[in-house]
Amino acid sequence: MFLQHMLSRHLRTAAILLALGIVTSLFLGGAQPVAVNLVPEPWDKLLHGIVFALLAWALGFASGLHGWRSLAVAFFGSLLIGLLDEWHQLYLPGRQAGWSDFVADMAGSLIGTVSLTLWNRKRG
């Protein structure tokens, strides 16, 4: 029991760091000139999906909440970050905000939330 608690605490810490790393790279890294057209279409949508799936899972797991609350934090937290990221891009030279990017963010958020649900079921 003690080992499981320690492992869970370390995983939560890793999830917090992952979420912070993703948000930092979106807002600070995305503001750099090198971020303009870094990933060509349609691959950028796949990257959006992967990043937001990881972000949703990390937010939900890091929250320490259980049941629907962790899923709500995962899904709506990652959606909010996606929306803020697209809004942020409106003000960056060379960057474009787009609904298609936000839809990819939503799809990734949903996938991350579903994977968190499966993870929680597996853990008991």
Peptide bond into 33 cis (omega under 30): no
Quick check: 123 pLDDT over 90? no
Whether the link from the prior residue into 42 is cis, omega within 30° of 0, is: yes
The tokens for 69 are: 């609350």
| Cα–Cα distance, 35 to 72 (Å, whole number) | 30
The radius of gyration of the chain's CA atoms, rounded to the nearest angstrom, is 15
Cβ neighbours for 36, distance < 8 A, ≥ 6 positions apart: 93, 94, 95
Spatial CA neighbour of 48 closest among 104, 88, 123:
104
pLDDT tens-digit map of 28-66: 999 999 999 899 989 999 999 999 999 999 999 999 999
- Give residue-wise pLDDT tens across range 65-104: 999 999 999 999 999 999 999 999 999 998 888 999 999 9
Question: Rounded CA gap, 51 and 33, in Å?
Answer: 20
Q: Band the pLDDT of 8: cuts 50, 70, 90.
A: confident
Single pTM value for the model: 0.92
More confident call, 122 vs 88: 88
Residue 3: is its pLDDT beyond 70? no
CB-based contact 20:78 (threshold 8 Å): no
30 lies in which domain range? 2-123
Domain count of the fold of the chain: 1
